[in-house]
Amino acid sequence: MIRANETLLVTGGAGFIGSNFVLSWVKAGGRVVNLDLLTYAGNALNLAPLEGDDRYTFVRGDICDAELVNSLLRRYQPRAIVHFAAESHVDRSIVAPDAFIRTNVQGTFVLLEQARLYRQELGEAYRAMFRFLHVSTDEVYGSLAADDPAFCETTPYAPNSPYSASKAGSNHLVRAYFHTYRLPVLTTNCSNNYGPYQFPEKLIPLMILNALEGKPLPVYGDGKNVRDWLYVEDHCAAIRAVLENGRPGETYNIGGSSERANIDVVTAICDLVDEMGPALGAAPRRGLITYVQDRPGHDRRYAMDASKVSGELGWRPVEAFESGLRKTVRWYLEHGEWVNSVRTGAYREWIEKNYAERAEYRQQGTGNRT
Q: Is 53 in the active site?
A: no
| Rounded distance between C-alpha atoms, residue 178 and residue 143, angstroms | 27
* DSSP-derived secondary structure for 236-254: HHHHHHHHHHPPTT-EEEE
Catalytic residue (choose from 36, 138, 234, 319)? 138
Q: Mark 339-363 as b/e (b = at least 16 C-beta within 10 Å).
A: beebeeeeeeebbeebbeeeeebbe
Selected from 22, 23, 31, 42, the binder of ligand NAD by CB under 6 A is 42
The answer to whether residue 20 forms part of the interface with ligand DAU (CB under 6 A) is no
Nearest-CA neighbor of 77 among 5, 183, 1, 185? 5
Residues 90-129, mask of contacts with ligand NAD (x by CB under 6 A): -------------x---x----------------------
**Are 354 and 212 contacting, i.e. CB atoms less than 8 angstroms apart?**
no
Nearer to ligand NAD, 12 or 169 (CB): 12
Give the number of other Cβ atoms within 10 Å of residue 313's Cβ: 17
Catalytic residue (choose from 87, 139, 228, 259)? 139
The answer to whether residue 190 forms part of the interface with ligand NAD (CB under 6 A) is yes
**Are 320 and 252 contacting, i.e. CB atoms less than 8 angstroms apart?**
no
Residue 304, Ramachandran bin (φ over 0: left; ψ between -120 and 50: alpha; else beta) = beta
The answer to whether residue 40 forms part of the interface with ligand DAU (CB under 6 A) is no
The answer to whether residue 135 forms part of the interface with ligand NAD (CB under 6 A) is yes
The answer to whether residue 86 forms part of the interface with ligand NAD (CB under 6 A) is yes
Q: Is 139 in the active site?
A: yes
Q: Is 220 in the active site?
A: no
Selected from 77, 93, 137, 210, the binder of ligand NAD by CB under 6 A is 137
The answer to whether residue 208 forms part of the interface with ligand DAU (CB under 6 A) is no
The minimum distance between CB 109 and ligand NAD, in angstroms, equals 12
| Rounded distance between C-alpha atoms, residue 37 and residue 59, angstroms | 8
Nearer to ligand DAU, 88 or 114 (CB): 88
* Interaction partner, residue 262 (ligand DAU, ligand NAD, none; CB < 5-8 Å by kind): ligand DAU
Residue 210, Ramachandran bin (φ over 0: left; ψ between -120 and 50: alpha; else beta) = alpha
Give the number of other Cβ atoms within 10 Å of residue 279's Cβ: 9
Measured from each CB, the residue nearest to ligand DAU is: 137
**Are 290 and 370 contacting, i.e. CB atoms less than 8 angstroms apart?**
no
Nearer to ligand DAU, 181 or 220 (CB): 220
Cα–Cα–Cα angle for 313, 319, 324, rounded to 5 degrees: 145
Residues numbered 254 to 293 that lie near ligand DAU (CB under 6 A) are 262
Nearer to ligand DAU, 88 or 171 (CB): 88
The answer to whether residue 88 forms part of the interface with ligand NAD (CB under 6 A) is yes
The answer to whether residue 181 forms part of the interface with ligand DAU (CB under 6 A) is no
Distances (CA, A) of 158 to 142, 211, 255: 5, 34, 18
Distances (CA, A) of 37 to 6, 7, 351: 23, 20, 22
Nearer to ligand DAU, 77 or 258 (CB): 258
Residue 133, Ramachandran bin (φ over 0: left; ψ between -120 and 50: alpha; else beta) = beta
Residues in touch with ligand NAD (CB under 6 A): 11-12, 14-18, 35-39, 41-42, 62-64, 84-86, 88, 103, 107, 135-137, 167, 190, 192-193, 199
Residues in touch with ligand DAU (CB under 6 A): 88-90, 137-139, 191-192, 202-203, 206, 218-220, 225, 227, 262, 295, 302
Q: Which residues are the active-site residues?
A: 138-139, 163
